[in-house]
């Protein structure tokens, strides 16, 4: 009985460790040797329990747990590292690994403020998979997650009020007014998302640093009361020819500021980045879990068949002994 | 006892093999696509306005061969390319061909003044949110994308083209359809 309880405990522990790969998808912990070792030890304990198990149904549940462990080991050891794909709205990213292409939905200043953009995964001869911010979708042994990331839609105007083209010569989309803040910079002890863009018509380049509402409150800058609770951008405007800074300014989301001869305005919000994480294959996991449940429930409902056989053997031996004694008595 | 070990080992090996077959192996970095990679894909269309303020989009030209030209007035190669585009448009307009100049991120007045000053007669669209530029994976300006009568991309070209290069690009598509 004690051995069986220990077996169930090992099964639950193994399932918990493997399911953590789905709950915390994308965490690098699952690709470490320490994680693999922990699963391997649990697998070894389960195999020991299999060899000692006397009930057929309970052995089935142990084999189910072994399948779960193997699935978890395979995704952790053999599965590729987590891939994070951040793209500008309205662009396409081919993903050869999963034979698909990710279509990042178009966005407007209003939609990024709402944060309701989505990513469509298209594969030949398959239905589209829609991944919205915060949702999770299985694709074989991969889990697709859309993580909401800070984004800014930038508009720039000349002194005369004419709109200026925004380009990102070093970004992933040259003609994109959407800043994705893929890098971070430490400012006053805190890490801030940072990005940059160019205004070729105005001969300006601009560095933009993202500040959350809480960080804005600590900045001690004069912002209009309407901007309270809004995130803000710090702009550092440079002359593109001399690379000389022409001024620094902070403006909240939706408000315009004039720095270095250009008027800048940004709408801040969120836009999803696609995270593709290796996870245990759901069908194999389901098979393992089914065997565990059937095995445990079945062995609870049925009398312990191993113990039954053992007691039957004892009874037989007992009867056999009595018969022999009886026979001796008769002989005597 | 030995049988149990064999079965347990076989289960583990099978599960590892299936998982590896279904999705294992190193994950390759995603490929960044330029305009040339769009060949054969449906051409993206967005509702924008013409330089005169009337609504327009690429989709409205379905049935024609369209040379989409992404440009801006501040871009020197775009300015140099403009007369050749105008000549190409005039030469083939009667064959169901149109040049669609899509200004990227500028005010309608700036684009209209520039086009008028250069005697441009083909439609100029104002894409102030630069949607076409992103969808056509522009890596610079100008970027040209040839779209066939069925609305599919024939070829995407990064950079300035001469009139001869434009003719070489457009003529086979006009003849074949």
Q: What is the pLDDT of residues A208-251, one digit of tens each?
A: 999 998 888 887 777 777 777 889 999 999 999 999 999 999 99
B40 touching chain A per CB within 8 A: no
pLDDT at site B84: 98
Nearest to A145 by CA among A29, A17, A22, A30: A22
Across A99-213, the runs of DSSP E, i.e. the strands, are 100-104, 118-122, 129-132, 136-139, 142-157, 163-164, 178-179, 183-187, 190-199, 204-211
Q: What is the pLDDT of residues A82-91, one digit of tens each?
A: 999 999 998 8
Structural domain spans, chain B:
35-176
| Nearest residue of chain A to residue B74 (CA atoms) | A201
Q: Taking CA A326 as the corner, what is the angle to CA A321 and CA A327, rounded to the nearest 5 degrees?
A: 100
Residue A315: pLDDT over 70: no
* Chain A residues touching B74 at Cβ < 8 A: 165, 200-201
User: From the CA atom positions of chain A, what is the Rg in Å?
Assistant: 32
pLDDT at site B69: 98
What residues in chain B have per-residue pLDDT under 50?
A: 21, 23-32
Which CATH superfamily groups domain B35-176?
Answer: Glutaredoxin (3.40.30.10)
Q: A–B: how many Cβ contacts below 8 A?
A: 148
Contacts of A320 (CB under 8 A, 6+ apart): none
Q: Are B4 and A50 in contact (CB under 8 A)?
A: yes
Average pLDDT over residues A244-271: 95
Q: What is the pLDDT of residues A71-125, one digit of tens each?
A: 999 888 888 889 999 999 988 888 887 888 899 999 999 999 999 899 999 988 8
Q: What is the pLDDT of residues A26-70, one digit of tens each?
A: 898 998 999 999 999 999 999 999 888 888 889 999 999 999 999
Q: Which of residues 17-36 of B touch A (CB under 8 A)?
A: 18-20, 22-33
Indicate the SS3 state at residue A16. Answer: helix
Distance (Å) of CA B137 to CA A96, A225, A299, B17 = 18, 40, 61, 39
Q: Are A310 and A171 in contact (CB under 8 A)?
A: no
Residue A19: pLDDT over 50: yes
């Amino acid at each position: 009985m004690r051995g069986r309880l220990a077996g169930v405990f090992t099964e639950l522990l193994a399932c918990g460790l493997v399911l953590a790969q789905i709950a915390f998808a994308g965490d690098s912990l699952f690709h470490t040797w320490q994680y693999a070792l922990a699963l391997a030890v649990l697998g070894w304990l389960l195999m020991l329990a299999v060899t000692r198990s006397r009930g057929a149904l309970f052995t089935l549940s142990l084999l189910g747990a072994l399948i779960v462990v193997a699935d978890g080991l395979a995704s952790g050891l053999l599965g590729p590292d987590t891939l994070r794909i951040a793209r500008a709205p309205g662009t396409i990213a081919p993903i050869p690994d999963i034979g698909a292409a990710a279509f990042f939905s178009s966005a407007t200043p209003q939609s990024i403020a709402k944060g309701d953009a989505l990513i469509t995964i298209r594969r030949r001869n398959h239905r589209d998979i829609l991944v919205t911010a915060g949702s999770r979708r299985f694709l074989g042994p991969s889990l697709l997650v859309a993580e909401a990331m800070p984004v800014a839609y930038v508009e720039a105007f000349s002194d005369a009020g004419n709109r200026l083209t925004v380009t990102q010569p070093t970004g992933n989309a040259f003609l994109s007014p959407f800043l994705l803040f893929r890098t971070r910079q430490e400012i006053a002890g805190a890490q801030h998302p940072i990005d940059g863009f160019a205004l070729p018509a105005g001969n300006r380049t601009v560095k933009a640093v993202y500040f959350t509402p809480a960080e804005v409150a600590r900045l001690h800058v004069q912002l209009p009361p309407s901007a309270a609770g809004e995130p803000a951008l710090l702009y550092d405007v440079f002359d593109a020819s001399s690379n000389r800074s022409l001024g620094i300014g902070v403006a909240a989301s939706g408000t315009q500021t004039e720095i270095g001869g250009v008027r800048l305005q940004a709408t801040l919000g969120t836009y999803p980045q696609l995270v593709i994480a290796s996870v245990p294959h759901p069908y194999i996991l389901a098979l393992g879990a089914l065997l565990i449940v059937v095995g445990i429930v079945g062995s609870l409902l049925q009398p312990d068949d191993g113990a039954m056989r053992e007691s039957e053997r004892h009874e037989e031996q007992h009867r056999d002994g009595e018969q022999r004694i009886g026979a001796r008595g008769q002989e005597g | 006892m030995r049988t149990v070990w064999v079965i347990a080992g076989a289960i583990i090996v099978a599960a590892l093999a299936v998982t590896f077959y279904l999705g294992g192996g190193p994950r390759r970095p995603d490929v960044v696509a330029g305009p040339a990679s769009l060949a054969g894909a449906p051409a993206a269309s967005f509702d924008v306005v013409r330089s005169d303020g009337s609504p327009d989009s690429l989709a409205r030209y379905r049935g024609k061969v369209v040379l989409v030209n992404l440009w801006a007035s501040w871009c020197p190669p775009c300015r140099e390319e403009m007369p050749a585009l105008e000549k190409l448009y005039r030469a083939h307009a009667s064959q169901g061909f149109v040049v669609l100049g899509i200004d990227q991120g500028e005010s309608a007045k700036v684009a209209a003044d520039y086009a008028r000053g250069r005697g441009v007669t083909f439609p100029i669209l104002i894409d102030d949110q630069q949607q076409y530029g992103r969808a056509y994976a522009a890596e610079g300006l100008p970027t040209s994308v040839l779209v066939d009568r069925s609305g599919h991309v024939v070829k995407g070209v990064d950079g300035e083209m001469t009139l001869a290069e434009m003719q070489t690009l457009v003529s086979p598509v006009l003849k074949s359809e």
